[in-house]
Chain A
Amino acid sequence: MNLLEVDNLHVQFPTRSGTFDAVRGVSFSLGRERLGIVGESGSGKSLTGRAILRLIKPPGIVTADKISLEGENLLDLSERQMRKVRGQRISMVMQDPKFSLNPVMRVGEQIVEAYSQHTRASRKEAKAKAIEMLEAVSIRDSERVFRAYPHEMSGGMGQRIMIAMMLIPNPQILIADEPTSALDVSVQTQVLSIMDRLVQERGMGLVFISHDLNLVSAFCDRVLIMYGGRVVETCRADQLYNAKHPYTQGLLNSLPRLDTPVNRLQVLQRDDAWMTDNPQLDDKPDDLTQPHISKTDAETP
């Protein structure tokens, strides 16, 4: 059985000029694997992650046919049951550590808290574990970092602290939202290998959100490509360069490549037709007035 199955996920925000559909019918499944999600800024990657944890704040509206974790539909859980899922079973590395860490709480305190929430560990054990975790994400002066406040940390340190904090309760699924964007290549490799090991050894499922196509194709097993709130293409990571969808091809063509150098990088072309994948619907008058709303959940395989 798959760890996680997401079926027809929608996230909407009511605005003054009608509802804004930020995520429109996303479906995918996650096994004990590394699933990459790529897509341009604003394509709904982060919201998809948050919606799975049921952390979209009102007035945002989340609907889905199902979001099931090992067969259990998260949408049916009470808030109290959901809290047992968060952190312990599904955890999420938040995108921007600058804003995602509590500025008035020591780093160590924040990591310890993530651990002791789901274990009965003593403070001392929790601290030892937190230090161990900080070292695991290759932070050398872990004792100092433990006592530091977030504003004393660099962006890359923040990301590693975030990763340590979210891995410490040993989740079954980790949603990592651009976890390595501020890290230099050597540290990035190290951090990725930690996540990789958890996937291999403990059968963790990893959702790896990134802008970096090369990284995703090298690191992940499968890739979802999102565009305008929907999944336009799913493929094996090593086949990414053979992707068929015009948006994916556009993305690939706008990447600099060492093997086939080109004089000029291509500019990404966009097509409104990608926003809906059932072209017939576009002809209906009510859809013309609200072009963002599509009634299908079909997904390009």
Chain B
Amino acid sequence: MTTAAGKPPPTEYRSGWTRGSIKLARVIGSVLVTMLGLLFITFIIGRVMPIDPVISVVGERATKEVYDAAYQEMGLDKPVLVQFFYYLSDVVRGDFGTSYLNGRPVADEIRRVFPATLELATIGTLIGIIFGVPLGMIAAVKRDSWIDQVARVVALVGYSMPIFWLGLVGLLVFYGILGWVGGPGRVGIFYVDIVPPVTGMILIDSALDGQWEIFWDAVSHIVLPASILGYYSLAYISRMTRSFMLEQLNAEYVTTARVKGLSEWTVIWRHAFGNIKVQLITVIALSYAGLLEGSVLTEIIFSWPGIGSYITTALLSADMNAVLGGTVVVGLVFVCLNVLSDLLYSFFDPRAK
């Protein structure tokens, strides 16, 4: 329509579109490259491990013919690059092979354990944000006051307390002695496998199913492990918030805001906090990603069937398909969180556009 007038299309319109698609292409490209690199590494590791994949399929007492047939069927006689493409196409179709341990598809197992970790990590991170950010803010605003000292000690304890100790003591006090929370596991033993798994996250599934009794039982089970993970993430988030805030509070624009006669609350939350959002997103994404890897110790102590304990168990029994499948999923989660935090970054920081 613009060509009729003999003029080029308005530049702003055009560049907005191109910039958007370039950005999208770049994001997708970087995800693909990263994932390809990760898959290549897991593939190589799978090859160089001193574990014969054929034997783990056919068993140690198989005859030579059976062995060779399986060897060819698995494509192990093909060139390595071809094998890599087989591997790639399997992974893309969501096929991580079968577990040597129990013969079940690894993908199914991951689909079962990952939601458990996701549920725990999400609630843990929420706790970390809800308490960590305000704590860091107060510590920065009231720098060197007793509140700042308390916040420092709280974070230090969070960093340095061994998690298994914290978990055991927590279980002893709140479950054993006080009986305020549920014990190990995701729900009480009577409720196991009652709600149909939709998302695999028991809080959501039980709510969807209207099973409120199970929902509250699940809440009482997740409170303690989520609080412990939340405490860890709180320690990190509050420290980072504090240091970001201190930097902003010294900035000139904060003085400008005060010159206008704004209240301290507005100065802090509207102005200074507005400027740390971006950095905070990165920190939160990092800590969330850390929890999504599955915190092995927490999962073991609380008998939480998550991806951390799944990968660890697989590793200890040399179940390579399970280990590599789990690694790929964790890697994918990492990459996705990175992309998400990048997108939020450009959303919150006008200078990044």
Which A positions have Cβ atoms within 8 angstroms of B? 50, 53, 55, 57, 79, 83-88, 91-92, 94, 96, 99-105, 113-114, 117-118, 149, 151, 162, 165-166, 169
Residues of A within 8 A of B349 (CB): 104
Residues of A within 8 A of B252 (CB): 94, 96, 99-100
Interface size on B, residues (CB 8 A): 24
Given contacts A149-B351, A151-B350, contact A101 B256 (CB under 8 A): yes
Residues of B within 8 A of A86 (CB): 258-261
Given contacts A99-B253, A151-B351, contact A105 B259 (CB under 8 A): no
Q: Are B258 and A55 in touch, CB under 8 angstroms?
A: yes
The residue on B at minimum CB distance from A99 is B252
A50→B256 CA distance, assembly (Å): 10
B262 at the interface (CB under 8 A from A): yes
The residue on B at minimum CB distance from A148 is B350
The residue on B at minimum CB distance from A54 is B258
Q: Are B260 and A114 in touch, CB under 8 angstroms?
A: yes
Residues of B within 8 A of A102 (CB): 253, 256-257, 271, 274-275
Q: Are B259 and A84 in touch, CB under 8 angstroms?
A: no
Q: Are B259 and A166 in touch, CB under 8 angstroms?
A: yes
B66 at the interface (CB under 8 A from A): no
A-B contact pairs, 6 of them (CB 8 A): A55-B255, A55-B258, A79-B264, A83-B262, A92-B259, A100-B253
Most B CB contacts (10 A, CB to CB) among A96, A103, A104 go to A104
Given contacts A84-B261, A117-B262, contact A100 B350 (CB under 8 A): no
Given contacts A83-B263, A94-B252, contact A103 B351 (CB under 8 A): yes
Q: Are B350 and A104 in touch, CB under 8 angstroms?
A: yes
B131 at the interface (CB under 8 A from A): no
A53→B253 CA distance, assembly (Å): 15
Q: Are B261 and A87 in touch, CB under 8 angstroms?
A: yes
B348 at the interface (CB under 8 A from A): yes
Which B positions have Cβ atoms within 8 angstroms of A? 250-253, 255-264, 270-271, 274-275, 277-278, 348-351
A91→B257 CA distance, assembly (Å): 11
Shortest A126–chain B CB gap in Å is 13
A32→B270 CA distance, assembly (Å): 35
A103→B254 CA distance, assembly (Å): 11
Shortest B124–chain A CB gap in Å is 29
A102→B274 CA distance, assembly (Å): 9
A100→B351 CA distance, assembly (Å): 16
Shortest A80–chain B CB gap in Å is 9
Shortest B111–chain A CB gap in Å is 40
Residues of A within 8 A of B259 (CB): 53, 55, 86-87, 91-92, 94, 166
A169→B259 CA distance, assembly (Å): 11
A243→B252 CA distance, assembly (Å): 35
A91→B250 CA distance, assembly (Å): 20
Q: Are B350 and A103 in touch, CB under 8 angstroms?
A: yes
Residues of B within 8 A of A162 (CB): 256
Residues of A within 8 A of B253 (CB): 99-103
Q: Are B256 and A117 in touch, CB under 8 angstroms?
A: no
Q: Are B261 and A88 in touch, CB under 8 angstroms?
A: yes
A55-B258, A102-B253, A151-B351 are known; give 10 further A-B pairs, CB within 8 A.
A53-B258, A87-B259, A94-B259, A96-B252, A99-B251, A99-B253, A102-B271, A104-B277, A105-B271, A114-B260
Shortest A282–chain B CB gap in Å is 36
A79→B267 CA distance, assembly (Å): 14
Shortest A178–chain B CB gap in Å is 13
Residues of B within 8 A of A103 (CB): 253, 275, 350-351
Shortest A125–chain B CB gap in Å is 17
Residues of B within 8 A of A53 (CB): 258-259
Most A CB contacts (10 A, CB to CB) among B252, B261, B275, B277 go to B261
Q: Are A118 and B350 in touch, CB under 8 angstroms?
A: no
Q: Are A85 and B261 in touch, CB under 8 angstroms?
A: yes
A169→B262 CA distance, assembly (Å): 12
Which residue of the partner chain, among A50, A84, A149, contacts B350 with CB atoms under 8 Å?
A: A149
A113→B258 CA distance, assembly (Å): 11
Residues of A within 8 A of B261 (CB): 83-88, 117-118, 169
Residues of A within 8 A of B350 (CB): 103-104, 149, 151
For the complex of A and B, 3 pairs with smallest distance between CB atoms: A87-B261, A86-B261, A99-B252
Q: Are B260 and A87 in touch, CB under 8 angstroms?
A: yes
Residues of B within 8 A of A91 (CB): 259-260
